Amino acid sequence: MVSVDDAETNRKFAESLEADFPLLSNPDGDVARAYGVVSPERQLPQRWTFYIGGDGRILYVDKEVNASTAGAQVVERLAALDVPKR
């Protein structure tokens, strides 16, 4: 996960969710701009999910993320992409 919030805000957020995945803090927004989720017209990042393969290629971009169902959406998409369960 990448966020434009500062590291301390992200640490508290991750702790509140008991997150077991990495959370990159990118307050200057260069990663967000590189992925096209912010632009001069839209300064707040879009909530998009990028599925990236082991080779670094983007397999799928979900631009219709619903925060309340995002977990289930990720599970469904990973299955559709034939990503093996661990």
User: What does the pLDDT look like over 31-48, one tens digit per residue?
Assistant: 998 999 987 787 788 899
Host domain of residue 20: 1-40
Q: Is the dihedral of CA 78, 37, 45, 20 positive or negative?
A: positive
Q: Are residues 2 and 34 in the same domain?
A: yes
Round the average pLDDT of the chain to a whole number and report it: 89
Question: Which amino acid is it at 50?
Answer: F
Q: Are residues 3 and 35 in the same domain?
A: yes
Residue 10 has pLDDT above 80, yes or no: yes
Q: Are residues 63 and 80 in the same domain?
A: yes
Q: Are residues 62 and 33 in the same domain?
A: no
Answer yes or no: pTM beyond 0.75. yes
Q: Which of 46, 49, 12 has its CA nearest to residue 29?
A: 46
Q: Are residues 30 and 55 in the same domain?
A: no
Q: Total structural domains in the chain? A: 2
Residue 12 has pLDDT above 80, yes or no: yes
Quote the pLDDT of residue 84.
Answer: 85
Quote the pLDDT of residue 11.
Answer: 92
Q: Is the dihedral of CA 16, 24, 36, 5 positive or negative?
A: positive
